[in-house]
């Protein structure tokens, strides 16, 4: 009787417990030589989208601005000041909208087409901002003072100029290269295999 129960329990375990291990939303299986694992597109999409935005590049920026508070064109009424703003710009990859159409997987490679990196933020470092001594004509005195509204407008202009600078090839090509490397590293870690990773941007 005990032998029958033991056999019956083992049989039930095989039928009802073992198959349960296969009831996953995705599967990873080994190849014949055991050297590689496969990952489905849906799984890769889900895991990548969880990252939302991936910071790939940080650049140091500077922008010199001149405030002109002169009265007319005569040098005796001249009053100007140069300000050197220092800031940091961040590029990100927005991964929140990718889907299976962005990914192609075969036995040896994973190819992905992603949106180009975009500028996420530009942050100015007030402590590093350099205010040069004002240039004043003989009939001009004191420092140049800006109202809160004028200062806010100036900061907006500075950030716009830095943003334009970040879109120049000198900076943007670096952001493209770093974004490609970052995505390859990310996909490699998620797939846990030796796939060739190909990343392109559109």
**Residue-wise pLDDT tens digits, 188-202:** 888 877 789 999 999
pLDDT digits (tens, 9 = 90+) for 111-135: 999 999 999 999 999 999 999 999 9
pLDDT score, position 130: 96
The span from the CA of 61 to the CA of 89, in Å, is 7
Averaged pLDDT for residues 162-173: 97
pLDDT score, position 38: 63
pLDDT score, position 1: 46
How do beta strands 103-105 and 130-131 pair?
unpaired
The span from the CA of 151 to the CA of 81, in Å, is 14
SS3 breakdown of the chain: % helix, strand, coil, rounded to 5?
40, 30, 30
The range of the structural domain enclosing residue 127 comes to 2-201
The number of folded domains in the chain is: 1
pLDDT score, position 49: 86
Averaged pLDDT for residues 20-33: 36
């Amino acid at each position: 009787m005990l032998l029958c129960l033991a056999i019956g329990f083992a049989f039930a375990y095989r039928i009802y417990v073992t198959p349960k291990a296969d009831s996953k939303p995705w599967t990873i299986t080994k190849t014949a030589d055991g050297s590689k694992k496969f990952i489905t597109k849906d799984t890769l999409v889900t895991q990548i989208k969880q990252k939302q935005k991936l910071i790939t590049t940080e650049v140091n920026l500077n922008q010199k601005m001149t405030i002109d508070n002169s009265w007319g064109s005569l040098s005796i009424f001249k009053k100007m000041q140069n300000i050197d703003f220092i800031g940091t710009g961040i590029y990100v990859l927005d991964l929140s909208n990718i889907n299976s159409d962005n990914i192609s997987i075969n036995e040896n490679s994973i190819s992905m087409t992603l949106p180009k990196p975009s500028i996420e933020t530009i942050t100015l470092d007030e402590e590093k901002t350099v205010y040069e001594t004002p240039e004043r004509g003989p009939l001009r005195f004191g420092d140049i003072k800006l109202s809160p509204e004028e200062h806010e407008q100036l900061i907006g202009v500075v950030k716009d100029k830095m943003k334009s600078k970040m879109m120049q090839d000198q900076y943007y090509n670096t952001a493209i290269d770093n974004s490609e490397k970052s995505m390859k590293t990310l996909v490699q870690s998620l797939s846990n295999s030796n796939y060739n990773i190909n990343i392109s941007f559109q």
